Structure 1
Amino acid sequence: MAAMTEPQHATIDAAMQAHLQTWQGKSESRVDLVAAAPVAAMAATLDRADPAPVAGTALPPLWHWMYFLPHARQSEIGPDGHPLRGGFLPPVPLPRRMWAGGRLRWEAGNALAVGQEVERVSTIQSVKHKAGRSGELLFVQVEHQFRNASGLALTEEHDIVYRPLAQPGEAAPAPQTPPLAGQAAWSRTMVPDDVLLFRYSALTFNGHRIHYDRQYVTQVEGYPGLIVHGPLIATLLVDLLRRHLPQAQLLSFDFRAVRPTFDLHAFSVHGKPSQDGKTVELWAQDHEGWLTMQATAVLA
């Protein structure tokens, strides 16, 4: 059998765009068991002193990202460490692939928990091509619905962005100041060392080389250092909320990645609840104070 390779198109013309859009509406279903071991491992990775999880222990928000993982064979891995493109997700020819954000809605009274068998039904909602200042962009939005024995428990919309490699002399996007800079009620400083990035990659079976292969991320994708996982930063934002409001029940969480975070410096996560306590504004910023992720949590 011939070796599988990634597509080599440099641009997305009208024919390619039309081909990629045929993935809209495509669905797949996966079933997984919410096992206890990953929950204990994530608690350790986030430096939490949680009790050992047992059957019935509620799965903390965003920790479902440790389940329903694609298990591509080693021969099916692309040059960036991800599974080769095609299959469920469209074969986008742009080499950079990032998790741009998402929107999650939990069903009150039906929490995912350790010991449950859960079905995830994923559907590609849209495939959109845009031209930005740094070149072509292609956005893929995927909806995931999670059901346990009691029915729908969680709905998630996941935004993926594909873009070209960085070009010499390319200007970086203008940095943004956090809208609530200096107003945080809660803050935590994180040191994104290699061990933290490795452990999160391992827990989410994420082979994307931008998170652990310094030679690849700097020489091939043109970044200055290892990239901190967007989902890890989102998880740290929710973890900050849980540390200060341990009994809070999330109804929704919307987040948007604004700027990459690299392992070269510490970064920080911040939160500010509303006066009525029903919403919490959350954000992450880098060592220079620039906004890297912005999120809003709505509480029950």
Structure 2
Amino acid sequence: MEKFDAFDAWIGKKEIQVDYLNQRPLAMMQALLNQENKNLTELPHLYHWLYFLPTVNNEQLAEDGHPKKGGFLPPIPFPKRMWAGGRLQFLKNITVNQEIKRESEILKIEFKQGKSGDMYFVTVKHSIFADDQLAIVEEQDIVYRNTSNQTKTQRAVIVPAAETKPFSYKKQFPINTTSLFRYSALTFNSHKIHYDRPYAMQEEGYPGLVVHGPFLATLLIHSFKEEYPTKTIQSFDFRAVNPVFDFNEFSICGDVQTQSAELWVEKENNLIAMKAKVTFTED
């Protein structure tokens, strides 16, 4: 494969952001998940995604609604940008109503050629501190796709039907355009594929509005904690393998073992949309 090193200068690039962990986003997330509004004292898993949000002016947004490239992230010319997965370690509980800091670094940039077209994968590491103590270590995988075969790509992103396998629980969480809008608003995510149906279908070749990958990951870990509230989560790895659209029905599943669990989102046609693994200890 030809080596593409045009963006090597971005590898090792760093940025630091500071935020304050107030209650309001937590209450709104609980409402989105149909939970009783509790005055939380500790940050639930993955709720740190409600902070450190990119607050750029409208004039600094690209046509797709994302912030324009070339700031912290490299100016990769491929227009289709998605959060493909991540790996997280939870080292310390974070108390609500305190200052938090996130140190970010671009670890690697890889060019790949496959059946679905040309892609760049950018891996970003986030280290989140509370009271100057490292609390969460996260690696995010961001994928950039070419549009030259976008319709073909969307029809090709299909995995084999899920095998029949045991599960400890299987539950549903109905998604509609309102919940997609509320999650976009809560995370200040203006990517049009989540709320602008003509743009999602005509410009990016999707058959409908796309459910946010982080939203699905949050549902996975939220459902696990609902079923097993006494288990202390140590790590969470997830990977998006098939898009979920606003017209899809899907199940949130978990197969729980002694110290780990396999979690997945399964669409109504038995396709796996997201795979995840969580490790834990018992309180």
Band the TM-score falls in, shorter-chain normalisation = over 0.9
* Deviation beyond 3 Å, 4+ runs, structure 1: 166-171
Alignment-derived partner of residue 121 in structure 1: 103
Query: Where do 1:259-298 residues align within 5 Å?
Result: 259-274=242-257, 276=258, 278-298=259-279
On the 8 A contact 1:178/1:283 being kept in 2, the answer is: no
Q: How many residues align?
A: 278
Deviation, 1:27, is 0.2
Answer yes or no: is the 8 Å Cα contact 2:150–2:204 preserved in 1: no
Instruction: Quote the Cα distance in structure 2 between the aligned partners of 1:80 and 1:174.
Output: 24
Q: What does residue range 111-190 of structure 1 map to in structure 2 within 5 Å?
A: 111-165=93-147, 166-167=149-150, 169=152, 171-178=155-162, 181-190=164-173
Instruction: Note the alpha carbon deviations across 1:76-119, whole angstroms, 9 max, x for none.
Output: 00000000011100001001111100000011xx2112111011
Query: Which residue of structure 2 lines up, in the alignment, with residue 84 of structure 1?
Result: 68
C-alpha distance in 1, partners of 2:256/2:152? 41
TM-score with structure 2 setting the length: 0.94
Q: CA RMSD in A?
A: 1.5
AA at the equivalent of 1:97: R
Give the match for residue 239 of structure 1: 222
Change (3 A) 1:30 1:168: closer
* Secondary structure in 1 matching 2:128: strand
Matches within 5 A, 1:174-213: 174-178=158-162, 181-213=164-196
1:167 deviates by 4.2
2:14 to 20, 27, 32: 27
Counterpart secondary structure, 1:61: coil
Q: SS at 1:281's partner residue?
A: strand
Contact 1:249–1:299 (CA under 8 A) maintained in structure 2:
yes
